């Protein structure tokens, strides 16, 4: 201020060092938040790039504290930032070469700091894992998903959603079948149970595309529960006809993939 800078600039400069500790205040201004995040991102990418990642017992550059500050900044802001893409862009501007292995290690490191932060705050381990599995590179989105999941977890509809998700997901879990909505061949359906489930699936898919939230996902899965139950009670998925069997397995894989990018329900206790 004494140098004639505006109050907003002075505030952003001060906020650029926040938070200074785990329980410190966070920046209040957009400019301060952006500068604070940029400083941490630049330092983390650069130091990981030159092989100075923390060791098990040593962290001379305070990178754990720096990563936690970045997570807190982004999780509590409105910045919908994909850290994988952001780290890649930062690496391209570094004065040293930063390889892909270092960037992968950095992303894993930051995600682990977020997991520890949430668990120390008293959040359930399974819910944290469910959200970070799909949104770990985006702290703001991960925290939003976690808050959504916490609100829904005890509702009757969520139990139905988990049941509808669980049956097809457990069947294809170890099969390594890639989801492909356009790959399902409706002409291979042999009964109404298949047709009804496919119809329910396409409706659910359209709803999730419109609103990829935990609430919408839970709602459409719960609505499918009766069709899922009827399907598994009346359809033998592992048909002797290879084409029919593969088509049925693909439908199950697509059902399981409805949660992709939202939350990994297989991590939730009771799956």
Which DSSP letter does residue 259 get? G
Q: Write out pLDDT tens, residues 122-175.
A: 999 999 999 999 999 999 999 999 999 999 998 989 999 999 999 999 999 888
pLDDT digits 0-9 by tens, 244-255: 999 999 999 999
Above pLDDT 90, what percent of the chain?
Answer: 80
pTM above 0.75, yes or no: yes
Give the residue from 112, 113, 130, 161 showing the smallest Cα distance to 265: 130
215: number of Cβ within 10 Å = 15
| Residue 179 CB contacts under 8 Å (≥ 6 apart), including other chains | 250, 253, 254, 256, 257, 260
Q: What are phi and psi of 262, to 5 degrees?
A: -110, -60
Mean pLDDT throughout 14-28? 72
What pLDDT was estimated at residue 134? 97
Higher pLDDT, 157 or 32: 157
Please give the sequence-ordered ranges of beta strands (E in DSSP) within 99-236, or none if there are none: none
Mean pLDDT of 36-55: 95
On the question of pLDDT at 4 being above 70, the answer is no
27 confidence band (pLDDT: 50, 70, 90): confident
State residue 20's pLDDT score.
76
Q: Is the pLDDT of residue 14 over 70?
A: no
Residue 2 has pLDDT above 60, yes or no: no
pLDDT digits (tens, 9 = 90+) for 71-104: 999 998 888 999 999 999 999 999 999 999 999 9
Confidence (pLDDT) at 3 = 64
Token digits of residue 205: 């898919």
Give the pLDDT confidence score for residue 167 in this predicted structure. 94
Report the chain's mean pLDDT, rounded to a whole number: 92
**What is the pLDDT at residue 10?**
75
Task: Give the integer Cα–Cα distance in Å for 256 and 164.
Answer: 9
Residue with tokens 């170890």: 174
Give the DSSP letter string of 171-202: HHTTTTPPP-GGG--GGG--SHHHHHHHHHHH
Structure tokens at 143: 């925290």
Residue 19: cis peptide before it, omega within 30 degrees of 0: yes
Q: Residue 45: its pLDDT value, please? A: 97
Query: Residue 48: is its pLDDT beyond 70?
Result: yes
């Amino acid at each position: 201020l004494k140098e004639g800078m505006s109050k907003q600039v002075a505030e952003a400069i001060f906020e650029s060092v926040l938070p200074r500790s785990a329980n410190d205040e966070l920046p209040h201004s957009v400019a301060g938040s952006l500068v604070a995040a940029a400083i941490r991102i630049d330092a983390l990418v650069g130091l990981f790039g030159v092989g100075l990642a923390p060791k098990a017992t040593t962290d001379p550059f305070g990178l754990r504290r720096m990563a936690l500050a970045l997570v807190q900044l982004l999780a509590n802001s409105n910045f919908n930032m994909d850290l994988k893409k952001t780290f890649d862009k930062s690496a391209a501007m570094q004065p040293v070469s930063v390889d892909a292995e270092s960037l992968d290690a950095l992303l894993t490191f930051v995600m682990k700091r977020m997991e520890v932060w949430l668990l120390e705050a008293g959040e359930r381990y399974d819910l944290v894992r469910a959200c970070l599995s799909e949104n770990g590179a985006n702290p703001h989105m991960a925290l939003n998903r976690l808050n959504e999941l916490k609100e829904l977890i005890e509702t009757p509809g969520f139990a139905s959603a988990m049941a509808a998700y669980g049956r097809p997901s457990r069947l294809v879990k170890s099969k390594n079948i890639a989801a492909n909505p356009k790959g399902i061949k409706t002409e291979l359906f042999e009964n109404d149970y298949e047709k009804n489930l496919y119809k329910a699936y396409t409706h659910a898919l359209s709803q999730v595309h419109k609103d990829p939230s935990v609430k919408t996902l839970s709602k459409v899965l719960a609505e499918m529960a009766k069709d899922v139950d009827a399907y598994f009670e009346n359809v033998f998925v592992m048909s002797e006809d290879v084409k029919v069997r593969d088509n049925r397995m693909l439908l199950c894989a697509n059902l399981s993939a409805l949660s992709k990018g939202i939350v990994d329900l297989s991590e939730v206790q009771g799956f």
